[in-house]
Amino acid sequence: MKIERVEAIAVRIPLAKVFSGSSYQVDTRATIITRIYTDTGLVSEVYNGDEREHGLEIAALIEGAMAPLLLGESIFAHELLWEQLFQLTIGAANRPLVMNAIACVDTALWDLKGKALGTNVCNLLGGYRQELPIIAIAGYYLPGKVPADLAPEMEWLKSVGMAGCKVKVGKASPEIDAERVKHARRGGGDDFLIAVDANRGWSVADATRFARLVEPYEIAWFEEPCHWHDDARGMAQVRRATSIPINAGQSEVSAAGVRRLLDADAVDIVNFDASEGGGITEWRRAAAACALVGVKMAHHEEPQIASHMLGALPHGICVECFPDPDRDPIFPGMWVNPPRIDRGTLSIPQGPGFDIRLDWDMVKRYRIN
């Protein structure tokens, strides 16, 4: 089964609100849809990432530099094709952008393989389970929002089927953010997973102080606690100072970057993002490295692909999403066949490939290339 044509569609949707984390603001939702056409009529239908500034560049890179390397090749030769595409990173001025583009192509190839073989990607990768807990990314900083507001927010998340929430921290002081977490736990109840994500917002000292303040609230993990410039060493220090598991990896763009975290004894959980780090093929390498040292796997956002990857592995834990359509109008709003979410569990789609069927009227409305 040979590749005949490659199409990349950049989508960008303005948001009605501005959502803030520790050091960033989000006012758009963006993604890349990659369509690989084969000589048998099969076509991939999958989307990757949330690159809000460089979507046009990624799409142009896929269609311009990468497509010629793919045409005429077998959809099953994913390792060979990945290696050929990876060579583009060597002289690239913006290597993360190239890894993002590789991820789009690689994910589309896995979608095609599942469609060709009549099974979902979860089964291709190992098929350990066909459902997973699903949690929300929420608890953002918004104008006028006070710590007590997190309690009703967690109650709402439970009402729409979430098993837990990853709460944003790191923008305020450790004491104020600990107060926010206290109210989140109150609203979620004892059976609701509460994790916290500082997005590299704190020094080691502040991250450690915060961790000790929130330890009584049964925190599932503390994500990216420390500033970027010495993050592996800093996270290792925080990890030694708290009983809360440390989660990181979303800022890495390769499996070697994940190995750096493992070598530093910096993490208990890795949430390496396949859409930013070279796709499913490279994510599997990171997952294998984690399995060898007893580190669990999560995934940064992207439930449309993460559910298949994490469900395939015994050390995958849960998927995460943005259940608020104001934050993410794409999942599942751009799907014709959204996955089933019930009482904290996402059922992994059982159709071939990733089993995504998109609303093409919506795609055309927000397409930017």
What proportion of the chain, given as a percentage, has pLDDT over 90?
100
Segments making up each domain of the chain, as ranges: 3-118+359-366, 123-347
Q: 29-65: per-residue pLDDT in tens?
A: 999 999 999 999 999 999 999 999 999 999 999 999 9
Residue pair 32/55 in contact (Cβ under 8 Å)? The answer is yes
**Nearest residue to 244 via CA among 296, 196, 176:** 196
CATH dotted code for 3-118+359-366: 3.30.390.10
Q: 155-169: per-residue pLDDT in tens?
A: 999 999 999 999 999
Phi, psi of 35, deg, nearest 5: -115, 110
Superfamily for the 123-347 domain: Enolase-like C-terminal domain (3.20.20.120)
DSSP codes of every residue in 245-263:
PEEE-TT--SHHHHHHHHH
Q: What integer best gives the mean pLDDT of the chain?
A: 97
Give the pairing of strands 25-38 and 3-20: antiparallel
Q: 92-142: per-residue pLDDT in tens?
A: 999 999 999 999 999 999 999 999 999 999 999 999 999 999 999 999 999
What local confidence, expressed as pLDDT, does residue 316 receive?
A: 98
Task: Tell me what the mean pLDDT of segment 249-262 comes to.
Answer: 98
